[in-house]
Structure 1
Amino acid sequence: MKKLILFSIVALISFKTSAQFGNTNQDVYDAQYNRVNDPATTVRYGIRAGLNAANITDDPTVVDANAGIGTEFGIFARIGQRFYVQPGVDFVNNSINIIRASQPRQGERDEVVVRFIRLPVLVGLQTQSQQFGRNRSFSRYRLSVGPSFAFGVGVSDNNLDVRRRNVTNAQFALNGGIGVDIWRFGVDVMYHHGLSNVFNDNTATGKYRNFSLALSLVL
């Protein structure tokens, strides 16, 4: 019995010492917590969801406009390490509260939500990851810019007679923002600078200006 107890104590000490000071890949990278941070991984996939605040620039077809709060969610792939490319697919709801120059009841304000399928392609730079807590978590910062193409797929019911046919089908924008990753989770603040007219009226000139805040999860 004494030999068994002594053997158990020695085995336990040896196991603990190996876990702390071993230099194998298993010791350094915990499969559960550090798979996302593995330097051999150059392609990562993720999902994202967030809120956006959209407004429209001066437009002769719009008497007044106030920013509205919309939603967006999608999927993305992040390809690369320090420098990366990030294509994605987003479903976006842009909300604005407007009074139009021509509408059924003059002076009435209503919310107009335009739904888009957006295809961004971002290029970015991210810092080296900072390790915390026995290699069980990490953080890093990102800077990204790039263009996006959005295709209008619908307009919410409203009292201003704005329909799908009144919105420009193809919407182009330039995007830029910053983000931070903590373990598998990310937070991004982005600015979306619209280059296309929101409405397809011949005299329309208004373009979207959006800010978004989104949370992401790397799978």
Structure 2
Amino acid sequence: MKKLILAAIVCVLSVTYSQAQLLPSFKLGVKGALNFSSLHSEGKLFNSDTKTGYQLGVWGRVGIAGFHVQPEAYFASKRVGITENSEDGEGTFKSLDVPILLGTRIGLGPLGFRIQAGPVFSFAQDGEIKINNVTRWEDYKKSSTGIVGGLGVDVSSFTVDLRYEHGLTNIGQNATPDQKIRMWSIGVGYAFL
């Protein structure tokens, strides 16, 4: 009799879980993050060219059957150190970034772990590049693409993300070495829907 009751409980939980996975889910929220970016890392994750910036924006998540799409839009300030022709400088790229992440969530109820990856499209709004006190903003492209991936944790309505973004576009107009944004970010968010 105990085995029959236990089997019935497992069966009911399995059906409930599978139906919950097949129902579409929707979330909408806000997020903020610190980012650590560089234009070239010379094979290192962090070096003297890595500078700290920030991100502020909104995100949404639509999921079904354990998978989800998470589009985001945020304002980003990416600060980088620049070395060009043995001259040191610093730059700030202020952009509207639009990642479209595909992922999966593992967990039940209010606690879940996410794995996500996808493209990111960046549109420069403003910025400043100074090398030896000479402004060189016109030497850089105003849009770029990259790929972003990372891990996240959901605890009820709160989210925490750790991501790496690797630029695919050489953002220098005439730069001989490729100048691509490489960035780590750690962010927190809140889902109000």
TM-score interval for Structure 1 and Structure 2 normalised by the shorter chain: 0.7 to 0.9
SS at match of 1:200: coil
Task: State the 4+ residue runs in structure 1 displaced beyond 6 angstroms.
Answer: none
Partner residue in 1 for 2:36? 53
Match of residue 29 from structure 1: none
Match of 2:168, SS state, is: strand
Residue 165 of structure 2 is matched in structure 1 by: 192
1:100 to 84, 98, 104: 84
Structure 1 distance, partners of 2:160, 2:100, is 18
Hey, what does 1:73 align to over in structure 2?
A: 56
Structure 2: tracts of 5 or more residues without a match: 1-19
TM-score if structure 2 supplies the norm length?
0.77
Partner of 2:15: none
Q: What's the offset of the Cα at 1:52?
A: 0.6
> Aligned residue for 2:104?
125
Contact kept? 1:87, 1:122, Cα under 8 Å: yes
What amino acid is aligned across from residue 150 of structure 1 in structure 2?
Answer: S
Counterpart residue number, 2:27: 44
Any conservation in 2 of the 1:143–1:177 contact (CA below 8 Å)?
A: yes
Q: Is the 8 A contact 2:39 2:81 kept in 1?
A: no
Q: Note if contact 1:53-1:69 (Cα within 8 Å) is conserved in structure 2.
A: yes
The secondary structure found in structure 2 opposite 1:66 is coil
Q: Is the 8 A contact 2:129 2:137 kept in 1?
A: no
Give 1:96 shift: 1.1
Matched with 2:121 is: 149
Contact 1:127/1:140 (8 A) holds in 2: yes
Three-state SS of the structure 2 residue aligned to 1:165 is helix
Amino acid at match of 2:166: H
Conserved 8 A contact 1:148-1:175:
yes
Q: CA deviation at 1:99?
A: 3.3
Q: Which has the larger radius of gyration?
A: 1
Structure 1 residue 197, shift from structure 2 partner = 1.0
For the aligned residue pairs, the C-alpha RMSD in angstroms reads 2.4
Residue 4 of structure 2: aligned partner = none
Cα separation, partners in 2 of 1:157 and 1:206, compared to 1, 3 Å: closer
Distance 2:37 2:107 in 1: 33
1:140 & 1:126 partners in 2: Cα distance?
Answer: 6
Q: Which runs of 5+ in 1 are unaligned?
A: 1-36, 131-137
Match in the other structure for 2:67: 83
The 1-side partners of 2:135 and 2:59 are apart by: 31
- SS in structure 1 of the partner of residue 138 of structure 2: helix
CA contact (8 A) 1:155 1:162 kept: no
Checking the alignment, whether the CA contact within 8 Å between 1:155 and 1:163 is kept in structure 2 is no
Residue identity (%): 25
Cα shift at 1:206: 1.7
Hey, what's the Cα distance between the residues in 2 that align with 1:213 and 1:181? 14
Match of residue 170 from structure 1 = 143
Structure that is richer in strand per residue: 2
Q: Please give the TM-score of this superposition, normalised by the length of structure 1.
A: 0.68
